[in-house]
Chain A
């Protein structure tokens, strides 16, 4: 898979689209132009797009509506909105429709380019679970989605191998929970900012959920995992993590 992200730029102002597309291309990304929401949706049907960057105020279908439509069709596709209007309501609407961020215009290109370049690069996930079959199955699903996956059935080994390159850990809680909680604590000690998702059998986690949440676990998934739910949660957490580097139009959510 290519490490060059393919970004769809949507704005009714042709010169805005043109300049953004050119800048993105220069920075080493694929970029496609679209001048309306309709055109954007058509392009999405045709091409493999990794991220949509869309203006909010456009004649016809607005960026917020476009975002909603995209999320209905492909919940995993990250959407970033931008607007010249610093209207809090628009920002809130956009975020509610699942946009990673709502950026104010003029765009601060310097802070946006790193986001796109890390969109595909280094999407590495570590799966730590003593259930070997589970590891294999999940790895297959995530790999198809473009993540690079490392699996560990031995938590102590995982503890040694986890490094800065690992973006996210999918940690299985053993029945009884104490063991998993201990591993969780030790990962958190070494990597205070690492994104950690916990998988557990329903009923297994209740007792230790409090302790797990206290250790800043980003989400908790229950086995048996539904492929769709797993992907949505993983990508959602991943993109939102990534989106934190973006200068959002409203920091007072």
Chain B
């Protein structure tokens, strides 16, 4: 209450105190002199207001001293003329004390002001700063501002109470060795230390934040200390990471899209050829089947009515029959190729597919077939008829690649969501130049055939959600591998 009153009316308060004091001093003096008749307390009482006013009003206190001195001299001249010289001395003492005290007081006041200003500046700098400021000495935090508390989520009191090495505790383990090493260098003098680096900290609530640290070796209390500025750069780092991620993704996306476009283009070319082949096949293939059927019937009839024909005639009739079958095969290939048939898919064992294909395309005498089909293979989810057709085609190709005989291996293995089924031969192999083209429609390396077998196979296998690829070495043999999905797509 008093303090509050004082603050608003400082000057009035001082004048009032001064007035009361002077009044009571005058009363005391008159009482002592006139009633008690003693000179024990006289001018001494005036030193108190003079010193007070010198502290309060500085040089203006000389006026107070002059007034009081004048009063003493005047009263002396009236009441005690014999003591006048003494009283003049007393009055000059007043002036002397007032000037000395006021000069000292002015000096002290000036220093206080400077100190106050410096403190204010520091307080503003530190507390209003937008960055975290900390001072460490021997790994103990000596000072931490509000922002550093906000960054770390520990209160300033907690930070100051950490003890040696406390800050290192909140540094992310990955960054800790580096931060500790740097702080040791800085503590020693910091010639070889890095001024600025960033690292992660783990806040009180367990959040991971990226901070940017600027530090400098300073002298604090006469010894080395580290002055540290901390910036929370988490948002910036995240943005950077996102940007990096995005640019990487972008690269991948571009790659992916380019691949898709290339695939689409290849497919278009393939489908373009396919469309032409398809139209031809539709009109020619079907029309050929009728005359072919009649030839086939005619040969059958001839065979029936001449069961005892001579060997050559029988052989010739067999040749016609087998050529009819070949022609029929070519037509079927053409038609299969031109139609994109979506056959019904079902669960079927790989061994069953292989057995069916080997039944339909039995190996010639000089070829040994090795079935390398491990037990416990998953069933595949495919159109059995189409896959058997593909396998039959691969078998037929393999047999033809080994006219002198050889070993044909059918191998299957789990491919993770697929079964990889391969047909290998020990035949003539495929030249490097042909490798790229063998799946293209109308490509053939043989004198016979129109080059649709593998193209049809690829179309069919792709329609079944699988792939087909080839490895081959000229003169050593070829391996065709198809992947067959073990479950329905999308499930």
Contacts and interface: CB of A to CB of B under 8 A. Distances in A.
A32 B44 CA distance: 163
A106 B297 contact: yes
B328 A85 contact: no
A15 B290 CA distance: 10
A225 B305 CA distance: 48
Interface in B141-183: none
Contact of A13 (B294, B335, B343): B294
Contacts of B290: 13, 16, 84, 105
Contacts of B324: 106
A15 B297 CA distance: 9
B59 interface: no
Interface stretch (A21-29, A44-52, A67-75): A21-29
A252 B343 contact: yes
Nearest to B289: A84
B344 interface: yes
A160 interface: no
Contacts, number: 55
A16 B335 contact: no
Interface in A77-108: 84-86, 88, 104-107
Nearest to A11: B290
Q: Name the residue among A20, A26, A109 with the largest chain B CB count within 10 angstroms.
A: A109
A106 B296 contact: yes
Given A26-B304, A109-B297, 12 more contacts: A13-B294, A16-B290, A16-B297, A20-B297, A23-B301, A27-B304, A88-B341, A104-B289, A106-B295, A106-B296, A107-B293, A252-B343
Interface string B260-303: 00000000000000000000000000110110111111101100
Contact of A19 (B294, B328, B332, B341): B294
Interface string A1-36: 000000000000101100110110011000000000
A251 interface: yes
19 contacts: A16-B293, A16-B294, A16-B297, A19-B301, A20-B297, A22-B301, A23-B301, A26-B304, A84-B287, A84-B289, A86-B332, A105-B290, A106-B289, A106-B292, A106-B293, A107-B293, A107-B296, A107-B297, A252-B385
A27 B305 CA distance: 10
Contacts of A22: 301
B301 A26 contact: yes
A143 to B, nearest CB: 34
A85 B287 CA distance: 9
Contacts of B343: 252
B344 A19 contact: no
B286 A85 contact: yes
Given A27-B304, A86-B335, A105 B289 contact: yes
Interface in B237-279: none
A86 B286 CA distance: 8
Interface in B317-376: 324, 328, 332, 335, 341, 343-344
Contacts of B296: 106-107, 109
**Residue of B290, B293, B295 with highest tally of chain A CB at under 10 A:** B293
Contacts of A13: 290, 294
In which size bucket is the chain A interface? 20 to 34
Contact of A23 (B292, B304, B328, B385): B304
Contacts of B385: 251-252
Nearest to B325: A106
A202 B289 CA distance: 51
Contacts of A19: 294, 297-298, 300-301
Contacts of B295: 106
A86 B344 CA distance: 17
A106 B304 contact: no
Nearest to A55: B290
Interface string B300-316: 11001100000000000
Nearest to B293: A106
A104 B292 CA distance: 12
Given A23-B300, A109-B300, A251-B385, A15 B335 contact: no
Interface string A227-249: 00000000000000000000000
- Of B295, B296, B300, B328, the most chain A CB neighbours within 10 A belong to B300
A106 B289 CA distance: 6
A92 B393 CA distance: 27
Nearest to B324: A106
Nearest to A106: B293
B288 to A, nearest CB: 8
Contacts of A23: 297, 300-301, 304
B289 A252 contact: no
Contacts of A106: 289, 292-293, 295-297, 324, 328
A105 B293 contact: yes
Contacts of B328: 106
A176 to B, nearest CB: 40
Contacts of B300: 19, 23, 109
Interface in B415-460: none
B304 A15 contact: no
